[in-house]
Amino acid sequence: MKIHYNHSKALSCLATVLMALHSTNVNAFGSSLDRADIPLNRIELHRLENISRRMVEMMSVVSHASLIWPHGVRDSKGRMGIFIGSERPLFEEPGFEVETVRQAWVVFALIAAVKHSEGSQVGHIAFTDVNGMLGERWYYDMDMVTAREIHRLLIHGVILPPAAYKMITSVWQKVTVEHDLAIK
């Protein structure tokens, strides 16, 4: 049985499909901004779940438990992200001991995130604790480009963990339910 291929009909169908895509979304496959608030597909979610699992293993050496999970949708900037949550209240608790634990935990979480997301499309990491995971939700958001730069400085001995913590806290942004980022 011989199949005849009609090139002009195939091109006509392709043109129709492309025009339909163009009319629904001018840049359907374009910038990440067009992909904001879109749920991750199975492959993207699976990759972030694998990164999260490896981070959990690395974070298991910390004195208290950490929960790490992928953000199921892209944020308002179109970025895929990983949430890192401490099961201990760290961010709103006063005291020198809590401050010391918080600094160590945040820096170690950044190291784990950068180490295990190398080569991936992770665009941001979010730090929170038990208080931010329950009730009024909130987290501190940080771009991965900045996280990678801080990681590089740490690994090469240019800065020490206390300086890394100060750099992290100077650039992260607290996101709450009232913020557009947290809602989506």
CA dist 124 and 75 (Å) reads: 9
| pLDDT given at position 35 | 58
Q: Is 122 helix (H, G, I), strand (E, B) or coil?
A: strand
Q: Using one digit for the tens of pLDDT, what is the confidence trace for 107-140? A: 999 999 999 999 999 999 999 999 999 988 999 9
Q: What is the average pLDDT score of the chain? A: 81
What is the CB neighbour count within 10 angstroms for residue 12?
A: 11
Tell me the CA distances in angstroms from 89 to 37, 101, 153, one per residue in order.
29, 10, 28
**How many helices and strands in the chain, by DSSP H and E?**
7, 5
Q: Which residue in this structure is represented by tokens 């169908």? A: 13
| pLDDT given at position 92 | 85
Per-domain boundaries in the chain: 36-183
Q: Is 76 helix (H, G, I), strand (E, B) or coil?
A: coil
